[in-house]
């Protein structure tokens, strides 16, 4: 940032507003270097970052609600640093007090209503698996992870990472410890049942003919999908990743409830996809096992 000469020790306060709401006030003398008529660049950068954190709003993509209605996107915004710097230097070079309205830069969402309407038309892959709805903690985790991948749009050549999309499975993010899991499933301390969501997604994605980039199986067969048709995931461990190599965006729709999780892949009517044959799963309830029993029987499985 260039040095700016100004009147040393000139009193004055800058009142900063955002949408008419007071954000903070700063004194002119706080942004001087001792005995030098120049801006304290480090302190000014800290001010820019502080304001940005306070006022920035992330954009919200358009999405489809449970009734099939498209909810419109919402633009976000961040601090226009260039314009604010000009305003701030005008204050420093002047005398007396000033007040300014923070300049914003709009941030537009990647997915708007028109795009979502365009890619929701054609179902190119779907898969359904079943779980014990009476196993409350595991069913809760499944529903939470399904909600995280629902309405995700993957653009041409873009990679989708299950771990990056769902995020860390912690108590603070609503996930629970599942003391009873499906036989063969990874025994997670928090978030048991997540692998059924990633496995259902994997089979839907495979049916849609998308490119599988990274996929790992459990050490033993799990009973909610056919043998070797699972996709184990763990935070800071195995991930499920695929790439959209089609020339159209694809939309993921996922829902879990009443002992059933369904994942569907959609795109536009213009898409010419190459579906793959994937064996369906029966509605037979998978065998469950206590985590403590699993650890006692197979202490090496973590």
Mean pLDDT for each consecutive 10-residue tract of the chain (302 residues)? Answer: 45 87 88 67 92 95 95 97 92 82 96 96 96 91 97 98 96 84 61 93 97 92 90 93 97 96 97 90 65 44 32
Q: What is the pLDDT of residue 293?
A: 46
Both 181 and 57 in one domain: the answer is no
Q: Are 216 and 238 in contact (CB under 8 A)?
A: yes
Both 163 and 281 in one domain: the answer is yes
DSSP run (H or E) holding 45: helix 41-55
Range of the domain at 27: 13-107
Both 95 and 117 in one domain: the answer is no
CA 55/CA 78 separation, integer angstroms? 7
Which of 49, 75, 107 is at the close of a domain?
107
**pTM listed for this prediction:** 0.82
Both 19 and 95 in one domain: the answer is yes
Both 162 and 92 in one domain: the answer is no
Both 120 and 153 in one domain: the answer is yes
Both 127 and 201 in one domain: the answer is yes
Residue 27 within any structural domain of the chain: yes
Both 140 and 280 in one domain: the answer is yes
Torsion of CA 12, 17, 20, 21, to 10 degrees: -110
Structure tokens at 127: 């898969």
CA 132/CA 15 separation, integer angstroms? 58
List, in order, residues 6 or more apart from 171 with CB less than 8 Å away: 190
Residue 207 within any structural domain of the chain: yes
Both 177 and 252 in one domain: the answer is yes
User: Which alpha helices (DSSP H) does 185-290 contain, by range?
Assistant: 194-207
Q: How many residues does the chain have?
A: 302
Residue 185 within any structural domain of the chain: yes
Both 129 and 272 in one domain: the answer is yes
Residue 6 within any structural domain of the chain: no
Q: What is the pLDDT of residue 36?
A: 55
Q: What is the pLDDT of residue 219?
A: 80
Residue 143 within any structural domain of the chain: yes
Q: What is the pLDDT of residue 296?
A: 44
Both 72 and 119 in one domain: the answer is no
Counted domains in the chain: 2
Both 135 and 31 in one domain: the answer is no
Residue 7 within any structural domain of the chain: no
Q: What is the pLDDT of residue 302?
A: 29
List, in order, residues 6 or more apart from 15 with CB less than 8 Å away: 22, 25, 97, 98, 99, 100
Q: Are 130 and 211 in contact (CB under 8 A)?
A: no
Q: What is the pLDDT of residue 91?
A: 86
Which of 107, 131, 162 is at the close of a domain?
107
Residue 4 within any structural domain of the chain: no
Which of 53, 75, 107 is at the close of a domain?
107
Q: What is the pLDDT of residue 301?
A: 34
Q: Are 232 and 218 in contact (CB under 8 A)?
A: yes
């Amino acid at each position: 940032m260039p040095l700016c000469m100004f009147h040393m020790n000139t009193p004055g306060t800058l009142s900063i507003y955002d949408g008419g709401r007071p954000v903070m006030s700063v004194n002119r003398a706080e942004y001087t270097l001792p005995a030098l008529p120049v801006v304290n660049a480090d302190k000014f950068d800290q001010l820019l970052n502080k304001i940005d954190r306070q006022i920035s709003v992330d954009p919200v993509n358009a999405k489809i609600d449970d009734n099939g209605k498209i909810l419109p996107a919402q633009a976000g915004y961040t601090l226009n640093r260039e314009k604010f710097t000009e305003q701030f230097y005008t204050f420093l070079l002047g005398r007396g007090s000033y007040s300014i309205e923070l300049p914003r830069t709009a941030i537009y969402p990647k997915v708007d209503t028109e795009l979502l309407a365009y890619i929701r038309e054609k179902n190119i892959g779907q898969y359904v698996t079943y779980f014990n709805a009476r196993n409350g903690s595991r069913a809760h985790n499944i529903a939470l992870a399904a909600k995280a991948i629902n309405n995700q749009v993957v653009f041409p050549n873009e990679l989708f990472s299950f771990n990056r999309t769902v995020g860390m499975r912690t108590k603070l993010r609503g996930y629970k410890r599942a003391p009873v899991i499906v036989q063969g499933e990874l025994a997670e301390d928090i978030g048991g049942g997540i692998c059924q969501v990633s496995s259902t997604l994997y089979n839907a994605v495979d049916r849609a003919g998308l490119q599988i980039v990274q996929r790992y199986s459990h050490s033993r067969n799990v009973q909610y999908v056919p043998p070797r048709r699972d996709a184990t995931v763990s935070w800071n461990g195995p991930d499920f990743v695929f790439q959209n190599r089609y020339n159209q965006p694809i939309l993921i729709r996922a829902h879990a409830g009443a002992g059933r999780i369904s994942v569907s892949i959609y795109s536009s009517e213009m898409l010419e996809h190459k579906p793959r044959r994937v064996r369906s799963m029966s509605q037979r309830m998978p065998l469950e096992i206590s985590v403590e029993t699993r650890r006692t029987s197979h202490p090496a499985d973590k």
